[in-house]
Amino acid sequence: MPVLTRDEAQTRARHIDVQRYTVDLDLTTGDATFDSRTVIHFTVHPTAEADAVPEADATVDTFAELKPAVLRSVTLDGHPLDPTCLSGNRLPLTGLAPGTHELSVDAAMHYSRTGEGMHRFTDPADGETYVYTQLFLDDVQRVFAAFDQPDLKAVFDVSVTAPAGWTVLGNSIATRQDNARQQHAGQENTAQESSGQEGTGRGSAGQGSTGQGNRRWVFASTPLISTYLVAVAAGPWHSVRTEHAGLPFGIHCRRSLAPHLDADADEILGITRACYDRFHEKFDEPYPFDSYDQAFVPEFNAGAMENPGLVTFRDEYIFRSAVTDTQRQTRGVTIAHEMAHMWFGDLVTLQWWDDIWLNESFAEYMGYQTLAEATRFQDTWTSFAVSRKGWGYDADQRPSTHPVAPDAAAVPDSASALLNFDGISYAKGASALRQLVAWMGEKDFLAGINTHFARHRFANATLADFIDNLASATDRDVHAWAQSWLRTTGVDTLTPTVTDIDGGWTLDIDHSGSRPHRITVGAYDHDLLDPDALVLRERFELDVPAAAPTADGAPDATAPDTQPTRRGRRPALLVLNDGDQTYAKVRLDPTSWRTVLRSLSHTPDPLTRAVLWNAARDMVRDGQLPPTAYLDAARAHLPHETDLAVVQGVLAFAADSIADHYLAPEQRPAALAALTGLCRDLIRRTEDGNDPGLRLTAVRHFIDAATQPDSIRDWYDSEGVPGGPLLDPELRWRILHRLAVLGATDEAAIDAELARDPSATGEEGAARCRAALPTREAKTAAWEALFSHDDLSNYLFAATAQGFWQPEQADLLQPYAVAYYPAATALASRRGPAIAEAAGRYAFPAYEVTKEALALGEKHLDDADLTPALRRKLVDQLDDLRRALAVRSSNAV
């Protein structure tokens, strides 16, 4: 089916305006399809030729989009059109005269199992069914007919018929119609808590309803919003409702997760209220919608989606097992991120998909910043540095890199746009905004943002609009900044040279890259009372100009930027970008590196330690530091680390990158032994029970790195780790998966565990374990489920793929590694972008780090049948494979 091109979207926007959609969905027609009836009111403008030449034809040809199971009828201005005129996903509308028109479409639409369009899920825990929409980026046409592009905003009147006992959520306040009786959603069965806390209640309208038949829900008219932001979520939700600032707030999840939502409701709603209040301190424009619901939905592909008035989250954020405080912080960041979108994305929307960074970079920055300002989670930027910054750096060094704000020509259609929701649009873009705030000041930054909202409320805007609005608030040259930061690719590198001189020292900075940077430099000395500890001597800010271009136009990486002489002896440790306010790889001078090896864990600020660990990580990836040296540093310093985000980030890189990819197979057992030894040290350190998050992290990583089954089987059989924690479902499935990889369990044990945990997460755990069993029968069954049958949901596909490839099973897996490319290509073509992305991310044979594997993959990139989503993932995976081979080569003995 054809994708929408930018040129087509611009042409259609010149010719039509859309005023209103009336969408009526019936979710009671069966398990496979639902009914969709749409009426679109729009206006046609005459062509430019007709304006210039009176006798020219003033009519317009255009199209609407729809992907139906059955198209029953189409009516234009009261005249029926032939339904067979639908071509692919396009409904042609020809000979439209200038003026107002009405398009009516009646269709049956497919439910989805891939998280696209109207996703349908039946909970294995209790048999209850739930449906929800995910209409981003161009999936609205899977639910109702539309002129599907972001700059044709309209008012939406949505109604939904659903089974009795279901609650239906949408973008606005709903009225439920029960035969002759009408009732406002959220007013029935909402019992206030006896604690007297602000409006928190248990239950929701529609839950526990009795009687036969169906019920209709009618939602209030929305303000002007884009098609991709329309949302519906329906099912027997468990809900907690409250009111804040005069608006109804609600949080919702599957009934089987009700106890877990109730346990965290105060935290989730507390963060929601705090962020809402903080955004109203930052933004002049008030929250622009009539309600704020947050639905935690099953099998969701993204982290969350910013539908106005109804944010949808993956329901893994409803924690059914023990979690760390860092995981809670991540949930809080996501809540803040999605709320920021209510202004940047929903109130003011991009005009075309080349400006997705206007949505995502802004929300990413505001999510971390606002959570730190408004809640107890005040170290968010440490977590960002450890868990998100590397995502951006890695993406920016691959062949698939692109500018934060690419040229329009680089995003010619919606399929191309979908590929850019990556570490650049999120992590790099947020880092660029953080650097912009450091450069121009937060006061001027927010003034420019508020001007942007005022000028473009309920409309669309471009990069040029955004930069003009920022420039109006400052004397700084924001346009030049945007050109160097947003229109370029790659990661700059800042390398210090420290020179002792009489009575002082100088700092030279070699700058490889094209961007100016405003950074903070931290100077640290050894503590006189504790030589292993470091104390901050001073921090000073400096501007590092962009490297001067060479004759061929490339940035000059050789000319150092010399700073003024500083008095006193040189510091023991000099940290560029202390505070992590810019986006650049940093190196350490030799004296500082020796200090880091001795005193990293005794550096006083966790964000500084995160910057230093990132420097070591980048050196490993660039072949400048042996992977084993990183492991040695982790073994020496993590037992003393006090920031959990740092511990988690270092362990993840050590396990996923170093042990699994950067070390040769013969070195892997020693690496795993080092990791289990390190985790034992952390477990011993937490025996007093004062740091359960650190202990849980250590237990998880010990399980994943275990090479001897008995060391974790005892935990599994006794249902707990000596001294805690007791094994909850997440830990039990984690141990069973590792036992399956090691060949120390079987199908019967997996079936028994699934009987014990018959939840959706349990089904995923069982699929992961079965695929991990080291037998030909298990691998054949998993392979056929992945690539021969198309009945796995998106989550079960990912779980099966995660279990399939294991470094310990290389000989058994070799035939499948060869078969992967044609199988994945055919699968992506059949099942669409979401499964294509999963096939490239989870089902890729990343365990095989060989020149032969790289050559095979590179050859397959020439296959013309590769879908864009799969091609992009393969390009990235093969580049990671190429880097792993380079790291191994540079550190070969």
Task: Kindly give, in sequence order, each residue whose CB lies less than 8 Å from that of residue 177, ignoring residues fewer than 6 positions away.
Answer: 215, 216, 217, 218
Residue 588: other Cβ atoms inside 10 A: 20
CA distance 201 to 265: 10
Which pLDDT value is given to residue 550? Answer: 53
Task: Kindly give, in sequence order, each residue whose CB lies less than 8 Å from that of residue 668, ignoring residues fewer than 6 positions away.
Answer: 659, 660, 807
Query: What is the per-residue pLDDT across 622-673, written as a single tens digit (0 to 9) for each?
Result: 999 999 999 999 999 999 999 999 999 999 999 999 999 999 999 999 999 9
Strands (E), 298-453: 304-305, 310-314, 348-350
Task: Kindly give, in sequence order, each residue whose CB lies less than 8 Å from that of residue 135, ignoring residues fewer than 6 positions away.
Answer: 117, 142, 143, 227, 228, 229, 230, 231
Query: What is the per-residue pLDDT across 97-143, written as a single tens digit (0 to 9) for each?
Result: 999 999 999 999 999 999 999 999 999 999 999 999 999 999 999 99
CB 810, CB 780: distance < 8 Å: no
Nearest by Cα to 23 from 168, 163, 211: 168
**Does residue 190 register a pLDDT over 70?**
no
**Does residue 193 register a pLDDT over 50?**
no
Which pLDDT value is given to residue 710? Answer: 95
**Does residue 182 register a pLDDT over 90?**
no
Strand, helix or coil at 692? helix
**Does residue 204 register a pLDDT over 70?**
no
Decide: residue 821, CB within 10 A, 0-12 exposed, 13-18 middle, 19+ buried.
buried
- Look at 409-423, 557-571, 707-721, 825-839 and tell me which has the smallest mean pLDDT: 557-571
Whole-Å CA distances, 205 to 133, 189, 234, 825: 20, 6, 12, 45
**Does residue 58 register a pLDDT over 90?**
no
Q: Hey, which residues are catalytic here?
A: 338
Domains in the chain: ranges and CATH: 6-253+290-300 (2.60.40.1730), 348-486 (1.10.390.10), 492-582+584-625 (2.60.40)
Which pLDDT value is given to residue 610? Answer: 98
How far is C-alpha 297 from the chain's CA centre?
A: 15
| 211 — pLDDT class (breaks 50, 70, 90) | very low
Which pLDDT value is given to residue 199? Answer: 35
CA distance 792 to 412: 32
Task: Kindly give, in sequence order, each residue whose CB lies less than 8 Å from that of residue 845, ignoring residues fewer than 6 positions away.
Answer: 805, 813, 816, 817, 820, 853
Complete edge-to-edge strand list for the sheet that includes strand 517-526 = 534-544, 517-526, 573-575
- Read off the tokens for 331: 């949930």
CA distance 773 to 529: 55
Mean confidence (pLDDT) of the chain? 93
Whole-Å CA distances, 662 to 293, 362, 848: 44, 34, 11
Residue 90 backbone phi and psi in degrees, to 5: -115, 130
Which pLDDT value is given to residue 54? Answer: 62
CB 686, CB 644: distance < 8 Å: no
